[in-house]
Amino acid sequence: MARKRFDDSSCSVARALNEVGDWWSLLVVLHAMYGARRFVDFQQELGIARNILCDRLTRLVDNEVLKKVDVGEHGSRFEYRLTEKGRDLFPIVIALRQWGDKWNPAPDQPPLDLRDRATGRPIRQVAVQNADGDSLTIRDVFVRDDGEATPRKDKKQAG
């Protein structure tokens, strides 16, 4: 049967995964961040089947993660560029990269060394933080129900 979709799920994680949660979409976004813009760039860099790439690009454009720009002087030459919504996936992609580097490091090569362009210093580990910038684990957060004013110990954990 058809794959389930989560378009109208009340869970925003499910809705997010509905747009970028398949095998290829986030990799397409990643390579767009690397600088890929043309159909053939994505195709060659990812080794993805052309029809699948077509489908994913179309869907990402429909979901406004990418925009399709006609760059041909006489038509029929296109670029796929990240929208603000697409660029906003940056923390997710970086968090995935750091998780992969930490738990499944490549045996033969060091992880990509991402640095702040302004200072040359490495970037931090992506983390959930409180208002003061302290890192929080899942145990440190709770879900505030409507109208609730103060944190309580017995609240269910969040996600």
Q: Are 18 and 27 in contact (CB under 8 A)?
A: no
By the rule CB under 7 A, 11 interacts with DNA: no
Q: Which is nearer to a second copy, 33 or 78 (CB)?
A: 33
The verdict on 22 binding DNA (CB under 7 A) reads: yes
Contacts of 105 (CB under 8 A, 6+ apart): 111
Work out which of 19, 20, 24, 28 binds DNA, going by CB under 7 A.
24
- In the list 75, 91, 151, 159, the residue contacting DNA (rule: CB under 7 A) is 75
Task: State yes or no: residue 4 binds DNA (CB under 7 A).
Answer: yes
Q: Are 109 and 122 in contact (CB under 8 A)?
A: no
Interacting residues with DNA between 34 and 73 (CB under 7 A): 38-40, 47-52, 54-55, 57, 68, 72-73
The candidate with the shortest Cα–Cα distance to 30, out of 110, 77, 99, 96, is 96
Residue for token pair 């077509």 = 54
